[in-house]
A = this chain, B = another copy of it.
């Protein structure tokens, strides 16, 4: 409840980086370290570069969606449509017609679909006054239908060599997808923490009435938040099209739940106004690492699921305790 505000003179720079709100994320870092130890103990391969890069590549697509989701949730909303908007964008940009124009047009299309869907979400929510949950749920369903309609329910193969090549390209041994993920996170972090846009996002999520009376244009800002989320879905669409070499209406099923879960595990309040992007990204990494550990240890699905539920609870408990003992409970 009560958040302390004592002076913390001896806080290291590192701690501050993971922080932006009082040691909040140290718990998640501890969880990751713990998972790493489990990985090293139970498998030979966990700590290989190849495996760690696999984890990061796996994390990259959900990770990009999570950046957008973090903005929306801190701003007091929710976006259930990200996964299927991504699918729609992947389908749109991989139709034969689009592909014939080459990769620039493909990327443009994917981003435009994402932005367009975000804009529609934002307009429904602000001017239509439909609660975000319902508006974006409707978008989820419609985007799914539209993606099926356009693709004729087939996986559309990416023939463009540039797009197809993204997932195969490595710079200095690291997959390009990981760079894209990192770039989105860095840009997202800067926007959220170092711009007036980010500051307003916190204000609007924290107390929309106060923000309105302080002269912020709450509606316009809310629309922009969903556009940001849609843009991230568009970027993710290109990434998944490259990774799977297809555009498909089946992409991204339930990704919205994964993204929301990562954001919340990362310490962002579902009611808005408070949260950190780093926390969300750590949340994504925790989820992805858990899955990776299961694969490496060759667990059966059902055991995986039972264990995953328990692990999530444990992770959050560790995090809550860490938070409390770091004096910010």
Binding site for B on A (CB under 8 A): 80, 124, 128-131, 133-135, 137-146, 148-149, 153, 249, 257, 260-261, 264-265, 270-271, 301-310, 312-313, 316-317, 320
Contacts and interface: CB of A to CB of B under 8 A. Distances in A.
Given A129-B320, A271-B271, A302-B153, A312 B134 contact: yes
22 contacts: A80-B257, A124-B313, A128-B316, A129-B320, A130-B317, A131-B264, A133-B261, A134-B261, A134-B265, A134-B313, A135-B316, A137-B261, A137-B312, A138-B308, A138-B309, A138-B310, A138-B313, A141-B305, A141-B309, A142-B309, A145-B308, A145-B309
Contacts of A140: 309
Contacts of A139: 309
Contacts of A146: 302, 305-306
Contacts of A313: 124, 128, 130, 134-135, 138
Nearest to A140: B309
Contact of A149 (B153, B302, B309, B320): B302
A141 B303 CA distance: 10
B301 A148 contact: yes
A199 B307 CA distance: 38
A248 B227 CA distance: 40
Given A131-B264, A140-B309, 19 more contacts: A80-B257, A130-B313, A130-B316, A133-B261, A134-B265, A134-B312, A134-B316, A135-B313, A138-B309, A141-B312, A142-B305, A142-B306, A142-B309, A143-B309, A146-B302, A146-B305, A146-B306, A149-B306, A153-B301
